Structure 1
Amino acid sequence: MRKLIWGFVIVIALLWATTWHPATGQWVYDRTQTLEAWAYGFDKQQVALGDMTMSIYQRRSSDEAAPTLVLLHGYTASKELWLRFGAALGDSYRLVIPDLAGHGETGFDPQWSYRPQAQAERIKRLLDVLQVEQAVVAGNSMGGLIAANFALAYPERSAGLVVIDPAGVTAPVASRAEKLFRQGQSPFEIESWQDFQEFYAMTMAEPPYVPTFVLKGMAARYQEHKAEYIQIAEDFRNFDQLDNRLAAISVPTFIIWGGADQLLDVSSAAVWHAQVPNNELLLMEGVGHMPMVERPQQTAAAVRDFVESLPAQQTEL
């Protein structure tokens, strides 16, 4: 009996110890996101686009005429960040959520271009394959810059544009992250657990609860992909920016910005609002860089109101 008890104690101790290994945190994160996607009715698909295969989540509406929304994540992120926002939108829309080139399950290739225009062209090809004629394209951070480039290049395919704390313009007030960039430091280039803690604190003002061992897994993943992220940043930060181009955006635009954003300062919201011809602006006080993660219900309700105000879309080619 005593041996059995000691054996049980050892097993429990080993299980407890494994939770502090980064690989365990990564496994738990991946499985949790897969379970969430299933619970919210999303199907994972691999879509061939010629030079790459793009991994996406997709959820169709029971209404064949439902508007299509394409949701684009930011730099170093992945499609999973949109799941709770997508669930909060309800089933009145067809949702398409890709892992952008260089990210998530789509993967990285050093031969690919990560310029915003190249990423926007891939979204156009994705819509072609999915036989979607028009979509509301929404993006956060780098995804917002890509979404705006899509609207500029393909206005006939854009039923509307939603940008959430988007990159792409010079902020009147430099953010905490931008000050680090100017000093030659990138908060996204993670070399230690401490680096990741400092970076993670900058991403959200109201982050959802994530266990420490899962965060350590995320930190390890950032370290593993550091060289890839550096190459991606070289392309998306230095090309196809939006200064002096905002006035050319011709589609209805909804701008959302977290007032406590430390990565892209909220002062940029006024630049977008002043220069984009047909836009609405929502400032969310106390929210950081990712409103769709920090307040998915509130953000989804605002986006739903915007989409419902748009003219009816053409949904299929």
Structure 2
Amino acid sequence: MSKFLIAAGIVIGLLGLGTYAYIETHPQEAFELALRAERDRAMLSVKSVNVDGDNWPYLDGGEGDVVLLLHGFGGDKDNWTRFGGHLTPDHRVIAPDLPGFGGNARHEDQSYDIASQRDRLAAFVETLGLERFHLAGNSMGGNLAAAYAHSYPEKLLSLGLLDAAGVESPVPSELAREVEATGRVALIPRTREDYDHMVDMVFEDKPWVPPFVVEALAQRAIENADFRQKIFVEYRTNLFRLEPVLPEIQTPTLIIWGDSDRLIHVSAARVMDDLLPNSELAIMEGMGHCPMIEDPRATVELYGPFIDRHTPAGM
């Protein structure tokens, strides 16, 4: 989902600027410097690769078994920076901007439904020459990760589903009730007020973020609203339902869910756990829709030991 950074890391990254005047007059440049500082601290660098004619930016860092991380709707690769920084000492972390988001290509004449994105992800994996790896995704990225796991089981060591989309929750979420009542989609902000509402929906315990960062993030989200609408319609029109495929996924799977998720009710986690033949379920108390952003350390404390158990000796 939305790309937020914990405030302390951003402030540290900006100390070298020496003056808030620069921030006020160059907010986008200051934001990019803050991102760069966060990535450096996480031992992640931005790389890019051409996949079928489109440039894929991605974060890459660390050594060891590969962990491939997929962001959700409206997010980008930096959703995983803090989380990834806890993994890079022992793992190679890769987190791409998925097509249609971040710095990846946006094509009006292409579809961004899950099946199409799965095929593009497979091409990205092959272009990087990844053999066997751990795959995890949040929200829409979790839906995509499960679709990939179903089609390419031979590629995966493990699967991580963090508040993943793709199954119908027995209890409707706050987002679902809001859409039903008003037609409003909180994930597609068109005004600053909309953006603030989206943040309130995503997080249970909102991290404090410097105002200039909030402004930069809000501006980007609002500018991309029309294309987000296109992707949302395609995603909803061509739903990749996971109920039929989860029983066929034998890959060891960890399901992580915030019990206060307003976008996808936590009851969906138990549906997934019941359908998957080889799964573990971890419910995080007082947590919203993006645990890897809201509390990256606590989330890694669940995820790290899981992938270690499913990494063959010598990798």
TM exceeding 0.5: yes
Which one of the candidate residues 114, 117, 122 is aligned to 1:116? 114
2:166 is matched with 168
Shift of 1:208: 2.2
- 2:95 counterpart letter in structure 1: I
Which one of the candidate residues 30, 35, 41 is aligned to 1:39? 41
Shift of 1:109: 1.4
Shift of 1:204: 0.8
**CA RMSD across the alignment:** 2.0
TM-score (norm 2): 0.88
1:15 is matched with 21
What are the within-5 Å matches in structure 2 for residues 76-225 of structure 1? Answer: 76-183=74-181, 184-225=183-224
Q: Deviations over 1:28-60 (max 9, x none)?
A: 322211221123221211111113111111113
- Cα separation, 1, equivalents of 2:28 and 2:264: 27
1:50 is matched with 52
1:285 is matched with 285
- Cα separation, 2, equivalents of 1:313 and 1:179: 47
- 2:61 counterpart letter in structure 1: R
Q: Deviations over 1:138-197 (max 9, x none)?
A: 000010000000101100111110000001111111111111222422112212211111
Counting aligned pairs with the same residue, the percent is 30
What are the within-5 Å matches in structure 2 for residues 248-263 of structure 1? Answer: 248-263=248-263
Residues 134 and 314 of structure 1 are in contact (CA less than 8 Å); yes or no, is this contact kept in structure 2?
no
- 1:134 counterpart letter in structure 2: R
- Cα separation, 2, equivalents of 1:244 and 1:182: 25
- Cα separation, 1, equivalents of 2:184 and 2:252: 36
TM-score (norm 1): 0.88
DSSP-derived class of the 2:131 partner: coil
1:304 is matched with 304
- Report runs of 4+ in structure 1 exceeding 4 Å deviation: none
1:60 aligns with 2:58: no
Q: Number of residue pairs matched? A: 295
Residues 47 and 55 of structure 1 are in contact (CA less than 8 Å); yes or no, is this contact kept in structure 2?
yes
- Cα separation, 1, equivalents of 2:130 and 2:197: 41
DSSP-derived class of the 1:55 partner: strand
Instruction: Give the structure with higher Rg (CA).
Output: 1
Shift of 1:311: 4.6
Shift of 1:78: 0.7
Shift of 1:223: 1.3
- Cα separation, 1, equivalents of 2:206 and 2:237: 29
Residues 138 and 164 of structure 1 are in contact (CA less than 8 Å); yes or no, is this contact kept in structure 2?
yes
DSSP-derived class of the 1:106 partner: coil
- Cα separation, 2, equivalents of 1:105 and 1:90: 23
- 1:52 counterpart letter in structure 2: D
1:268 is matched with 268
Q: Show structure 2 runs of 5+ residues with no match.
A: 1-19
- Cα separation, 2, equivalents of 1:174 and 1:25: 39
- 183-192 or 95-104: bigger deviation: 183-192
- Cα separation, 1, equivalents of 2:193 and 2:164: 27
Residues 135 and 159 of structure 2 are in contact (CA less than 8 Å); yes or no, is this contact kept in structure 1?
yes
Q: Deviations over 1:241-273 (max 9, x none)?
A: 213322122211000000111111111111011
DSSP-derived class of the 2:49 partner: strand
DSSP-derived class of the 1:251 partner: coil
- 31-40 or 281-290: bigger deviation: 31-40
DSSP-derived class of the 2:69 partner: strand
Shift of 1:123: 2.1
Q: Show structure 1 runs of 5+ residues with no match.
A: 1-13
- 138-147 or 32-41: bigger deviation: 32-41
Q: 1:217 to 1:43 in 2, by over 3 A?
A: closer
Q: 1:185 to 1:94 in 2, by over 3 A?
A: same
What are the within-5 Å matches in structure 2 for residues 209-248 of structure 1? Answer: 209-239=208-238, 240-248=240-248
- 2:140 counterpart letter in structure 1: M
- Cα separation, 2, equivalents of 1:112 and 1:88: 36
Residues 133 and 314 of structure 1 are in contact (CA less than 8 Å); yes or no, is this contact kept in structure 2?
no
1:10 is matched with none
Higher relative contact order (CA 8 A, sep 6+): 1
1:7 is matched with none
